[in-house]
């Protein structure tokens, strides 16, 4: 049985491996790709008329060229952008090249893009065949894989009634602009120093009615699709979170000797992100006139939280989370100490409209409703208190951040984009209307106008609201 699973794993890895692209030197100097264990992934790149193969250079050489290019550019504003999860690094190369050229030519930033291996299927295979007790195991991994699969299937089947109840409740729950709030709560919101804004939902009423009808009709199919998601979704999610940590410190295999463990513990952090940030920190110490903007989409804030906690000496002027999948408390633990020591820094938490977070239809109601963040809160994570819920959902951010970030409220902006709202959807009227819309270059998400609250908004329940 174990041999069968090993063969299946090897075949799946071959299927998920694609031909590596050749990148330009321009892109190589603005991209860090991180593999499934936290090592840098190098690509062949075009240098003048010659292609430099990955075997011909090292990550240190790539970082040398990146730091040199930053200084030669004369730019003092560095943008660090971290892609979200469920992406393969190979698939992000062309996107990185496109975005790097746009941002470099149309702004005064020097952009650095971080992509990391986090495809759903590959992460689940890692859970099923390799990761045991937080580390790769080449013995226990394959040997125990049938039992791990059994546990996953059993969890999905036994949780199905629970998941269907939550889904049904969501289909009939209140769909107004705001939940009911007493006068005391309204007064507290009005007294907040935090800037909070929500755009208008200008979709016609019948859209919600049709969505609910479609969702109810899709119940028979969801009896099949929900367990399929629950089987691999939670375990893959856990592996993705693991990889956001191994990007900084690589884990030793479970079979490592004590000597190797001690040597690793006494050595500098060896993940690709640590090596990059060590070089950026050294550059800043030599040239303290640099300032940094960090932007992360979805799971990208997991890496940014770790980065700010490990490298708090850098001046992160603007910290922008776009529909962050991290929990509220994870962000608070990383950001609050930094903001307290850096009163000129601002944290922007950008959300899609709460109606779309809870009501989004996937494949016409054949899949559980709601955005990826809704799925995380309901199916993929195990929140034990309200501050374990995802930060990217507007309701979670607005009602949890004030008390958790009480000393730095004035440095926080929470903004929910409207739906077909010209106040917030200024470039494309329907975007961002879904979780995946964030990070689309057409939205020019690197410009402050995208993060900031529109001028002269109205007030409703103490919350600034689009006209």
pLDDT at 329 over 90: yes
Question: What confidence tens digit (pLDDT) does each residue in 219-264 have?
Answer: 788 888 888 888 899 999 999 999 999 999 998 887 776 677 666 6
65, 28 contact by CB (below 8 A): yes
pLDDT at 49 over 50: yes
Strands 31-34 and 40-41 come out as antiparallel
Residue 178: the pLDDT is 53
Residue 212: the pLDDT is 73
pLDDT band at 211 (very low <50, low <70, confident <90, very high): confident
pLDDT at 27 over 80: yes
Three-state SS across the chain? CHHHHHHHHHHHHHHHCCCCCCEEHHHHCCEEEECCCCCEECCCEEECCEEECHHHCCHHHHHHHHHHHHHHHCCCEEEEEECCCCCCCHHHHHHHHHHHHHHHHHCCEEEEEEEECCCHHHHHHHHHHCEECCEECCCHHHHHHHHHHHHHHHHHHHHHHHHHHHHHHHHHCCCCCCCCCCHHHHHHHHCCCCEEEECCECCCHHHHHHHHHHHHHCHHHHHHHHHHHHHHHHHHHHHHHHHHHHCCCCCCCCCCCHHHHHHHHHCCCCCHHHHHHHHHHHHHHHCCCCEEEEEEECCHHHHHHHHHHHCCCCCEEEEEEECCCCEHHHHHHHHHHHHHHCCCCEEEEEECCHHHHHHCCCCCCCCCCCCHHHHHHHHHCCCCCHHHCECCCHHHHHHHHHHHCHHHHHHEEEEECCECCCCCCCCCCCCCCCHHHCCCHHHCCCCHHHHCCCCCCEEECCEEECC
HSE of 141, CA atoms in CB hemisphere, 13 A: 19
Residue 205: the pLDDT is 78
For residues 422-430, average pLDDT: 91
Residue 190: the pLDDT is 64
pLDDT band at 7 (very low <50, low <70, confident <90, very high): very low
pLDDT at 51 over 90: yes
pLDDT at 19 over 80: no
Question: What confidence tens digit (pLDDT) does each residue in 162-205 have?
Answer: 888 877 765 555 455 555 555 666 566 667 789 999 999 998 87
Residue 203: the pLDDT is 85
Ranges 150-164, 188-202, 270-284, 363-377: which has the least confidence: 363-377
Distances (CA, A) of 251 to 37, 148, 337, 423: 7, 21, 27, 47
pLDDT at 267 over 60: yes
Alpha-carbon distance 222 to 218, whole Å? Answer: 6
Residue 189: the pLDDT is 65
Ranges 58-67, 207-216, 436-445: which has the least confidence: 207-216
pLDDT at 10 over 60: no
pLDDT at 2 over 60: no
pLDDT band at 266 (very low <50, low <70, confident <90, very high): low
pLDDT at 8 over 60: no
pLDDT at 130 over 50: yes
Q: 79: phi > 0 → left, psi -120 to 50 → alpha, else beta; which?
A: beta
Residue 268: the pLDDT is 76
Alpha-carbon distance 328 to 202, whole Å? Answer: 28
Ranges 133-147, 210-224, 264-278, 344-358: which has the least confidence: 210-224
pLDDT band at 6 (very low <50, low <70, confident <90, very high): very low
pLDDT at 265 over 80: no
For residues 386-394, average pLDDT: 96
> What share of the chain has pLDDT > 90, as a percent?
65
pLDDT band at 466 (very low <50, low <70, confident <90, very high): low
pLDDT band at 361 (very low <50, low <70, confident <90, very high): low
Q: What mean pLDDT is reported for the chain? A: 88
**Token digits of residue 43:** 């690509």
| pTM: predicted TM-score of the whole model, two decimal places | 0.91
**Token digits of residue 373:** 């963040």
**Domain spans of the chain, in order of start:** 2-290+345-465
Alpha-carbon distance 436 to 225, whole Å? Answer: 21
HSE of 214, CA atoms in CB hemisphere, 13 A: 17
Question: What confidence tens digit (pLDDT) does each residue in 153-169 have?
Answer: 999 999 989 888 877 76
Three-state SS across 176-200? CCCCCCCHHHHHHHHCCCCEEEECC
């Amino acid at each position: 049985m174990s041999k069968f699973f090993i063969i299946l794993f090897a075949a799946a890895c071959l299927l998920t491996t694609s031909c590596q692209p050749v990148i330009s030197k321009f892109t190589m100097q603005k991209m860090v790709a991180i593999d499934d264990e936290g090592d840098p992934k190098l690509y062949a790149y075009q240098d003048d008329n010659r292609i430099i193969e990955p075997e011909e250079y090292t990550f240190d050489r790539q970082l040398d060229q990146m730091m040199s290019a930053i200084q030669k550019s004369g730019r003092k504003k560095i943008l660090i952008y971290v892609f979200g999860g469920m992406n393969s690094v190979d698939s992000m190369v062309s996107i990185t090249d496109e975005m790097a050229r746009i941002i470099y030519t149309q702004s005064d930033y020097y952009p650095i893009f971080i992509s990391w291996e986090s495809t759903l299927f590959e992460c689940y295979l890692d859970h099923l065949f390799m990761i045991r007790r937080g580390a790769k195991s080449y013995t226990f991994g394959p040997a125990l894989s049938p039992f791990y699969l059994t546990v996953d299937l059993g969890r999905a089947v036994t949780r199905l009634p629970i998941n269907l109840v939550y889904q049904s409740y969501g289909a009939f729950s209140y769909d107004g602009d705001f939940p009911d709030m007493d006068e005391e709560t309204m007064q507290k919101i009005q007294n907040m120093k935090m800037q909070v804004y929500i755009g208008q939902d200008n979709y016609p009423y019948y859209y919600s009615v049709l969505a609910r009808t479609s969702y109810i009709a899709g119940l028979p199919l969801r009896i099949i699709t929900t367990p399929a998601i629950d089987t691999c979704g939670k375990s893959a999610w856990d592996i993705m979170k693991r990889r956001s940590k191994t990007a900084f410190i690589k884990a030793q295999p479970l079979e490592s000797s004590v000597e190797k463990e001690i040597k690793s513990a006494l050595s500098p952090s060896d993940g690709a992100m640590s090596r990059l940030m060590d070089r950026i920190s050294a550059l800043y110490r030599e040239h303290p006139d640099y300032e940094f903007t960090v932007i992360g989409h979805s799971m990208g804030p997991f890496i940014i939280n770790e980065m700010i906690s490990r490298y708090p000496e850098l001046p992160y002027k603007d910290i922008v989370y776009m529909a962050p999948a991290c929990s509220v408390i994870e962000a608070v633990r990383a950001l609050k100490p930094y903001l307290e020591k850096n009163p000129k820094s601002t944290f922007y938490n950008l959300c899609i409209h709460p109606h779309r977070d809870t009501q989004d239809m996937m494949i016409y109601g054949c899949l559980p409703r709601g955005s990826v963040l809704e799925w995380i809160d309901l199916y993929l994570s195990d929140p034990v208190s309200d501050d374990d819920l995802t930060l990217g959902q507007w309701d979670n951010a607005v009602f949890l951040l004030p008390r958790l970030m009480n000393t730095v409220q004035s440095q926080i902006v929470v903004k929910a984009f409207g739906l077909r709202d010209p106040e917030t959807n200024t470039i494309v009227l329907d975007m961002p209307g879904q979780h995946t819309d964030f990070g689309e270059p057409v939205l020019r998400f690197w410009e402050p106008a995208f993060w900031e609250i529109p001028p002269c908004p109205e007030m409703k329940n103490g919350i600034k609201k689009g006209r």
